[in-house]
Amino acid sequence: MGTHTELIPGITVEHYLWLSVALFCLGVFGILFRRNAIIMFMCVELMLNAVNLMLVAFSRYYGQTDAQVFVFFIMVVAAAEVAVGLAILMMLYRNMHTTDTDVLNKLKW
Amino acid sequence: MISYIFWFLSFTAVFSALATILSKNPVHSVLYIIVTFFSIAGHYFLLNAQFLAAVHIIVYAGAIMVLFLYVIMMLNLNRLEKEKTQNWMKLLSVVSAGLLMLVMVSAVGRASLMAGAGQPDETMGLTQALGQVLYRDYLLPFELSSILFLSAMVGAVYLSKKEPTTPPL
């Protein structure tokens, strides 16, 4: 870890790597830990944001704008995913009266 | 001075992400994850990506989280029945997430990065530079994403339509 990787004074690109690894693992942990489908959706958003943060840090590190365009497209996909996913959840709740993924196991096995 | 802002934003992001996962009330989870998103937007400002920071706040805090809050309140989930997760499942989730963390930490710790661009270009994340790249090099994906949005909208409308003929399962 040398000074040549500094992005802003005192903070290197590795700091941002550690931060996004922590956020990504927290998202994975939340998906495994909680059974409420809405909270699991939020954890998916958290993982997407961890990846976005890493892309922006590397975009600054390498001086390339393209990574920021990728972040833009990830946000687009996240918005579409949330719209469809919450519609599916609404329909599930209307039919099954729960959002617990231990109950919604008809497609399991 | 600016590194203190980094540490403050990082701890805010990590702790409110943890609070999102651990809080019992889904409305509190939404509020905590909005705090996480705002601190990530602060990181984007620190990295001089002003356009992305603004879009991040507008899209995530403004649209996605409002949608989450709307669904939670419409389904009246804020007085949630207790999740019936067994303790061994919780233990397994902690262990497997910890193992993933271990793998990632060791991979990142051993990674040797190529040399960066040195002094970064300060105008890189501004709207003008990003817009030129977006509309010149990424015009086709940009247009395709509008089709993606259209299909997502059609899907959402179709899925949330009431079907009176379906009997409750």
- Does residue B84 carry a pLDDT above 70? no
| Residue pLDDT tens, chain A, 109 long | 444 567 777 788 888 999 999 999 999 999 999 888 899 999 999 999 999 999 999 988 888 888 999 999 999 999 999 999 999 998 888 888 888 888 888 777 6
> How far is A60 from A65, CA to CA, in rounded Å?
8
pLDDT score, position A95: 84
Question: What mean pLDDT do residues B52-76 have?
Answer: 90
Cβ partners under 8 Å of residue B8, min gap 6: none
**pLDDT tens digits, one per residue of B151-165:** 999 999 998 887 666
A55 touches chain B (CB under 8 A): no
pLDDT score, position A9: 78
Query: Of A85-99, B67-81, B93-107, B147-161, which range is least confident?
Result: B67-81
Q: Which B positions 106-165 lie with beta carbon below 8 A of chain A?
A: 108, 111, 113, 115-118, 120-121, 124-125, 129-130, 133-134, 137-138, 141, 145, 148-149, 151-153, 155-157, 159-160, 162
pLDDT score, position A86: 92
> How far is A32 from B95, CA to CA, in rounded Å?
10
> How remote is the C-alpha of A32 from its chain's centroid?
14
Query: Of A74-88, B37-51, B78-92, B139-153, which range is least confident?
Result: B78-92
Beta-carbon separation of A86 and B67 below 8 A: yes
Its CATH architecture, for the domain B1-80, is: Up-down Bundle (1.20)
> Which two tokens mark B134?
């977006």
Fold held by A3-96: Helix Hairpins (1.10.287)
